[in-house]
Structure 1
Amino acid sequence: MIFSKAGFGGAVADFEAAVVAQDAKRSGKAFVRLQETFGQAKEAELLAGGPRLAAVLEQVPPGPRAVVAVLVGACVERGAEAERCAPGVLAGLRTAVEGAAAFAKAWAATGGGAFPEPDAGEPDAETVERAGFEAAAGWWTLRQWEMAAVALLNHPAVRAGLGGADEEASHQAVRAEARGGPDGHPLRAEALAGRHALLRLLAAVEHASGQQFRSLGYALQVLDDEPLVALHRPSGTGYALRFFGIGDNFQLHTLLADALIGGGHVRGYAPSPHEVAVCRETPGQVDTVGSFELVAPDGARLWNEGNPADIPLVDGVRLLVLDEPAYRRSWPAGRFFPGMRGDLILERALEAEETERWFARVSPARELTG
């Protein structure tokens, strides 16, 4: 495919060649052209350009590397193949999160204080002196890597490939969370291991800096093909479900109400088709009303602002209790990640004996406030 040198495709070709040749002057000029021409890029240029830029990311210096990663993410949002772009972007994300975590330690060890606010340039001399360039660059560029990574993590195939088979500590954490043993799901634990390593590092950065990287954190916790048992306490009934690509519990809440109330299994407010559609793949938001109180097996409230990964695993299955709402709540139904398709499938109503066995794992209802 031949691109005009004046367009985005030509800028990609120039940048790619200059980076491979380690020609700093030429790559700098092409880097500027990438940003200048992206807005007018044609579809074919974006489809080809995203993977080509992703393939050379590792060879780009840390500062511009993050900006190029954002461009790759933007190409994916406009149709470039996410799986082809993922290795370069996710490797860069890991490097940035590890660097930012190292920065947090170094900053504390050299006197602490408020974290420097990243700007469009590179870290200043004092910041680099206190933490080292690689660590400072990790902190400086983490917001950009968040943007790039979330664009790719909208795609289930990218999420499925995020595991890290050599991260034994992460495996142990996941196995413990899954309660281990023959009832666990080792393949699912394997796939989640790499995410847990990133999440632990990200949590350390957030704690030290006082800043939140909520989009990245939630994207790393999105579950696919995840079994869920929901126990509706008012009716004493239970249901086996499976969910995919759900970003937060607001979205889960609406889809649960559609499956159980809209499906005629329990009583309550059934969301409209429009309310349900925006929680699956239709763009936009629309007002809805809460139908349940989401409760963990131990009786603790699970907030709508949280995400489905908060639902505890019991014998390898997410176990959720649905109580009557403590008070009336409303919110705009929709998706936390507008570019991510979500779904929840009701597989079957549980038999009475099976439901009773699950209820035996649940604490009695307790008064919830707030």
Structure 2
Amino acid sequence: MIFSKAGFGGAVADFEGAVVAQDAKRSGKAFIRLQETFGRAGETELFAGGPRLAAVLERVPPGPRAVVAVLVGACVERGADAERCAPGVLAGLRTALEGAVAFGEAWAATGGGPFPVPDDGEPGEEIVERTGFAAAVGWWTLSQWETAAVALLNHRAVRAMLGEAAVAEGPDDATVRGQAGGRRGELLRLLTAVAQASGQELRCLSYALQVLDDEPLVVLHRPSATGYLLRLSGIGDNFQLHTLLADALIGGGHVAGRAPAPQEVAVCRETPGQVETQGSFELVAPGGDRLWNEGSPAGIPVVDGIRLLVLDEPSYARTWPAGRFFPGMRGDLILERALEPEETQRWFARVSPAGELTV
């Protein structure tokens, strides 16, 4: 495949060759050209460029590596193959998280104080002396790695590469945070460690790593004493889940209440934009805790091997812009069937009686 040497494809080829040859001067010039030419890149250049840049990420010096990862993510957002780009970006993300954990620990051990706010440059000598270079770069570039990784995690195939999330049962340990299996679990554990060491919470990355796909969900509608089995995929937060639940149950004619308009549902699936909507339920955990719309479906407790959610009448009127937490991620919620009365009763026996909600 031949690209114009003056365009993004040529810059990718130059950068790739310079990095492999460990030619610092040449790679520095090509690095600048990558950024200068990306905005004018054509579809073919982006499709080819993303995977090629991802393949050499590990060899790129630590400072510019995160910027190249962001370019890879941008290529994916414009059509490059996310699966081919994922290994390099996710490996770099893990390294950055490990560095950020070490940074927080070293910062505390050398006197503490307010954490430095990363800028567009590199960490200064004083910071490097306190924490070490690798730790400082990890902290300095963490937001860039979050941007790159979330772009890839919008794709279900990339999320599948990280392995399934293991879940714990019971109201005191119901989310996948710190409980996931495989690479997904390791990244979540590192995220938790970063927050503990520095107070830095990467909410977008955390939510993206916790997105559930093809996940069964039992929903009990307390006002009508009915139950339903649904299956969810690609839902970023409970605002999105709330609207899709209202569409499936109220819009489907199964329970009474306000059904969202078609456009409100569309923006929660794959249509761009946001549309004002209104709450139809109170989302409640089996033990009686309120499940806030600001949370994610991963926070719905697991009971007897399946996530269990209770719907009560809304305690107050609430409106918000319906849409997707991750605009590039397709969301879906499928109603598989209504539960038989005997099944519903068995599930209701596992939940606390209606009462004052706990927070």
TM-score (norm 1): 0.92
Number of the residue aligned with 2:173: none
**Does residue 60 of structure 1 match 2:60?**
yes
Number of the residue aligned with 2:232: 243
Number of the residue aligned with 1:182: none
Q: AA paired with 1:254?
A: T
Number of the residue aligned with 1:94: 94
Number of the residue aligned with 2:297: 308
Q: Does the CA contact (< 8 Å) of 1:290 and 1:329 recur in 2?
A: yes
After superposition, where does 1:256-275 map in structure 2 within 5 Å? 256-275=245-264
Report Cα offsets for 1:248-272 as digits up to 9, x if no partner: 0000000000000000000001001
Number of the residue aligned with 2:143: 143
Number of the residue aligned with 2:8: 8
Give the 3-state SS of the residue equivalent to 1:56 in structure 2: helix
Closer, same or farther in 2 for the Cα pair 1:288/1:327, shift >3 Å? same
Q: Does the CA contact (< 8 Å) of 1:114 and 1:209 recur in 2?
A: no
Number of the residue aligned with 1:185: none
In 2, Cα distance between equivalents of 1:140 and 1:162: 25
Q: Does the CA contact (< 8 Å) of 1:146 and 1:216 recur in 2?
A: yes
Number of the residue aligned with 1:338: 327
Shift in Å, 1:81: 0.4
Q: AA paired with 1:160?
A: A
Report Cα offsets for 1:132-152 as digits up to 9, x if no partner: 111111111000000000000
Q: AA paired with 2:237?
A: D
Report Cα offsets for 1:5-43 as digits up to 9, x if no partner: 000000000000000000000000000000000000010
Shift in Å, 1:115: 0.8
Equivalent residue in structure 2 for 1:293, among 282, 298, 305: 282
Q: Does the CA contact (< 8 Å) of 1:326 and 1:368 recur in 2?
A: no
> Please, which runs of 5 or more residues in structure 1 have no aligned partner?
165-170, 180-188
Q: Does the CA contact (< 8 Å) of 2:217 and 2:308 recur in 1?
A: yes
Number of the residue aligned with 2:42: 42
The 10-residue stretch of structure 1 (26-35 or 94-103) with the greater mean CA deviation from structure 2: 94-103
**Does residue 199 of structure 1 match 2:188?**
yes
In 2, Cα distance between equivalents of 1:349 and 1:101: 46
**Does residue 115 of structure 1 match 2:115?**
yes
> Please, which runs of 5 or more residues in structure 2 have no aligned partner?
171-177
Report Cα offsets for 1:93-136 as digits up to 9, x if no partner: 01111111111111111111111111112111111111111111
Number of the residue aligned with 1:75: 75
Report Cα offsets for 1:212-236 as digits up to 9, x if no partner: 3111111011000000000000110
Q: AA paired with 2:141?
A: T
TM-score (norm 2): 0.95
Equivalent residue in structure 2 for 1:356, among 324, 327, 345: 345
Report Cα offsets for 1:292-326 as digits up to 9, x if no partner: 00000000000000000010011221100000001
Number of the residue aligned with 1:347: 336
In 2, Cα distance between equivalents of 1:315 and 1:21: 56
Paired positions, count: 352
Closer, same or farther in 2 for the Cα pair 1:198/1:286, shift >3 Å? same
Number of the residue aligned with 2:174: none
Give the 3-state SS of the residue equivalent to 2:220 in structure 1: strand
**Does residue 323 of structure 1 match 2:312?**
yes
The 10-residue stretch of structure 1 (207-216 or 143-152) with the greater mean CA deviation from structure 2: 207-216
Q: Does the CA contact (< 8 Å) of 1:326 and 1:369 recur in 2?
A: no
